């Protein structure tokens, strides 16, 4: 990696930390709290397992894993989220550690289980994250992932926001200053089973990929969903901030988000589709 690339990557990570620290992501995570126990169950986390929750946020997986008796390390790039998770966890004994999902500070084979719930999918370099998932998990250990699909509600939400979103951070120096950060990929690609299989490759066996959905009953109508995400969800906050001086665009995105949610709502209930992946690290 060149000096230009390192400089750009540092800027990308700083923007990611600020993005997820904005708003109130733990409130959003509470809406999808059922995904944490779902991933714990799917990966068979049990008493005595050494578990790392990568891009853990405020602990949607880490906390139920610890309640199951596992020894849990929860990592995230955003320390503000870990602080909230630690407060919520009380005396469960979880270790909360600021760390980059693309460069984890653990020895090879440290853990029995490596998990991430709508977490690593938002790191910019997919292959680096996949490499770390495999590396820190012992041979015969388990990997478990929940990621939003491109075709589900959250995938559609990102598609609706994309025309209004700020561009990826550019290279800040050198002759390629107009190019986006090198090697970055859209997060919802992690919701494509073929993409995940390609990332993990032959380093895992017994990979299963299942599409399911989490029921959401938090929102009475599309406007309520839009207003909650505008106030709480980092990517939505950043998108509206980027067009704050363009009222026509703000109005258009307001309408698009509310209309999207209304299309998915049925008697106050929505279903947000996700991909559940489990795999065993090859010997």
pLDDT for position 36: 98
Mean pLDDT on 155-179: 68
- pLDDT tier at 166, thresholds 50, 70, 90: confident
Q: At residue 6, does pLDDT exceed 90?
A: no
Which range of residues forms the domain containing residue 189?
A: 3-149+169-215+273-281
Cα gap 233→19, rounded to integer Å:
9
Decide if 246 is inside a domain.
Answer: no
Cα gap 86→237, rounded to integer Å:
25
Cα gap 65→43, rounded to integer Å:
10
pLDDT for position 177: 34
Decide if 140 is inside a domain.
Answer: yes
Cα gap 145→43, rounded to integer Å:
9
Q: What is the pLDDT of residues 89-138, one digit of tens each?
A: 999 999 999 999 999 999 999 999 999 999 999 999 999 999 999 999 99
pLDDT for position 7: 44
50 contacts 76 by C-beta, under 8 angstroms: no
Mean pLDDT on 22-49: 97
Q: What is the pLDDT of residues 223-259, one digit of tens each?
A: 999 999 999 999 999 999 999 999 999 999 999 999 9
Cα gap 93→109, rounded to integer Å:
21
Q: What is the pLDDT of residues 50-62, one digit of tens each?
A: 999 999 999 999 9
Tell me the C-alpha to C-alpha distance, in Å, between residue 55 and each of 73, 79, 82, 227, 282: 11, 11, 10, 25, 23
Tell me the C-alpha to C-alpha distance, in Å, between residue 230 and each of 27, 38, 131, 227: 12, 27, 34, 5
- pLDDT tier at 185, thresholds 50, 70, 90: confident
Query: Contacts for 65-73 with beta carbons within 8 Å, 24 or more apart?
Result: 65/36, 65/40, 65/113, 65/115, 66/92, 66/93, 66/94, 67/92, 68/40, 70/45, 70/46, 70/113, 73/97, 73/106, 73/111
- pLDDT tier at 184, thresholds 50, 70, 90: low
Mean pLDDT on 181-191: 79
pTM: 0.91
Counting every residue written for the chain, the total comes to 283
Decide if 267 is inside a domain.
Answer: no
- pLDDT tier at 10, thresholds 50, 70, 90: confident
pLDDT for position 281: 98
- pLDDT tier at 157, thresholds 50, 70, 90: very high
Q: What is the pLDDT of residues 198-221, one digit of tens each?
A: 999 999 999 999 999 999 999 999
Decide if 141 is inside a domain.
Answer: yes
Decide if 175 is inside a domain.
Answer: yes
Q: How many structural domains compose the chain?
A: 1
pLDDT for position 8: 54
With tokens 């906390």, the residue in question is 63
pLDDT for position 169: 56
Mean pLDDT on 185-189: 90
- Greater pLDDT, 227 or 176: 227
Decide if 155 is inside a domain.
Answer: no
**What tokens does 109 get?**
């084979």
CA gyration radius, the chain: 19
Cα gap 189→193, rounded to integer Å:
9
Decide if 103 is inside a domain.
Answer: yes
Query: What CATH code is carried by the domain that includes residue 137?
Result: 3.40.50.150
Decide if 63 is inside a domain.
Answer: yes
């Amino acid at each position: 990696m060149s000096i230009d690339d390192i400089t750009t990557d540092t800027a990308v990570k700083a923007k990611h930390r600020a993005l997820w620290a904005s708003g109130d992501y733990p409130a959003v995570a509470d809406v999808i709290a059922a995904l944490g126990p779902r991933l714990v169950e799917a990966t068979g986390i049990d008493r005595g397992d050494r578990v790392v929750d990568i891009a853990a946020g405020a602990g949607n997986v880490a906390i139920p894993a610890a309640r199951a008796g596992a020894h849990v390390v929860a990592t995230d790039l955003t320390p503000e989220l870990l602080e909230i998770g630690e407060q919520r966890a009380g005396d469960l004994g979880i270790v909360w550690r600021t760390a980059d999902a693309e460069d984890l500070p653990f020895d090879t084979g440290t853990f029995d289980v490596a998990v991430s719930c709508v977490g690593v999918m938002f790191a910019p370099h997919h292959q680096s994250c996949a490499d770390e998932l495999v590396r820190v998990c012992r041979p015969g250990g388990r990997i478990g992932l929940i990621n939003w699909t491109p075709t589900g509600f959250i995938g559609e939400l990102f598609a609706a926001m994309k025309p209004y979103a700020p561009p990826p951070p550019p290279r800040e120096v050198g002759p390629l200053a107009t190019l986006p950060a090198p090697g970055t990929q859209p997060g919802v690609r992690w919701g494509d089973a073929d993409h995940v299989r390609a990332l993990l490759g032959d380093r895992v066996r017994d990979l299963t990929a299942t599409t399911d959905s989490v029921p959401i009953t938090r929102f009475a109508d599309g406007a309520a969903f839009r207003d909650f995400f505008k106030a709480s969800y980092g990517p939505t906050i950043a998108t509206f901030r980027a067009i704050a001086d363009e009222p026509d665009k703000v109005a258009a995105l307001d309408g698009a988000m509310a209309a999207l949610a209304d299309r998915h709502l049925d008697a106050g209930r929505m279903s947000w589709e996700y991909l559940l992946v489990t795999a065993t690290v090859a010997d």
